[in-house]
Amino acid sequence: MIRIREFGQLDGRDVPVITLSNGDAAVELLPFGAAVRALWVRDRDGKWTDVCLGYDTLREYRDNDGCLGGVVGRCANRIGGARFTLEGKEYRVTANAGENQLHGGAVGFYRKLWDWRCDEGSVTFTYVSPDGEEGYPGALTVTVTYTLEGAALVIAYQAEAAAPTPVNLTNHAYFNLAGQAGGMVTDHVLTIRAGQFTPTGPGHVPTGELAPVEETEKDLRNPTVLTEERLRRVIPAGGFGYDFNYDIRGVEGPVAELYCPRTGIAMTLSTTMEGVQCYSSGSLTERRGKNGAVYGFGHAVCLETQHFPDAVNHPAFPDSVVRPGTPFRSVTAYRFSVK
């Protein structure tokens, strides 16, 4: 079932909330940023629980940082030095994180107004990024389709390029399985079945190496409680807690699981991508969220499926360049259950 209601206006265009539901789950979607505003699933007592952080007004989505629930692009994560060389030509993209680019530049995809359409059981958003936007070469047509399959939210991405260009798309949903007003996630249990990660230097830009997680705080192969000590641990590259890209190539079945003992809600993650950025909201500043909730440091976990950060500048990383005639496609599924 699909329901549409008014949410706000931007540039003279109405921006609705589109609710997709099937009895097992419900998701609220916004054309602004193709964003997930809310995701409702049942807890162990059968109570509906909204497990995604979000805002009550369009202005907050437009003005606030953090990319809450939005689709990030043209390139999610970092591009070191805000530059890359492609087919012999150097391109300079917008630097918005010191000397680097983060999440697509000054006005990334999560701050764009997307076209949208509803089909039976799904909602599709489309955005055409023009040639030269934020410094990227060639026009890029991006479609993102959200579908509910039982108690699973499935996100399908596609991008078609008019010229060779790096593309790295993800969704930046902030999950709190105690509920969007649940506070710090210090009781959540996280598993990421990855044996390697991509080390970073200053500004969280990858060095180009791969390193084992074994005997490091990044080792989440066994269920790990996200204690306050873990969330407040200083990251040498900057920030706190977890903000690392894991190499999930070769992992069979779900690559990650997040569980909250307060509600009994468990979420597993499956994807066709080779990387997942685990971010424990260590730089999320205090702000007002939905229904008077207050969000802040350590109030959510993001599991962002993507290419490796800065892949366009590291030939040893899996290729992130999309070329004319060869569309990029990926699928990510967040599946919910109770324990």
Catalytic positions: 172, 304
Rounded to 5 degrees, what angle do the CA atoms 271, 178, 6 make? 75
CB atoms within 10 A of CB 187: 16
Report in angstroms the alpha-carbon separations of 60 from 54, 55, 76, 296. Answer: 9, 6, 21, 15
Q: How far is CA 311 from the centre of its chain?
A: 17
Q: DSSP string covering 256-300, please?
A: EEEE-TTT-EEEEEEESSSEEEEE--TT---EE-GGG-EE-TTS-
Q: How far is CA 279 from the centre of its chain?
A: 9
Measure the CA dihedral 103/106/111/116, to 10°: -80
- Is residue 248 left, alpha or beta, with left meaning phi > 0 and alpha meaning psi from -120 to 50? alpha
| CB environment 291-310: b (16+ within 10 A), e (fewer) | eebebebbbbbbbbbbbbbb
In this structure, what DSSP letter does residue 230 have? Answer: H
CB atoms within 10 A of CB 17: 17
Tokens linked to 237: 């590259």
Report d(CA 118, CA 139) in Å as an integer: 25
The residues, any chain, with a CB within 8 Å of residue 55's CB and separated by 6 or more, are 37, 61, 64, 68, 288, 289, 290
Q: Which of 192, 170, 174 is nearest to 248 (CA)?
A: 192
Measure the CA dihedral 44/331/122/300, to 10°: 40
**C-alpha R_g of the chain:** 19
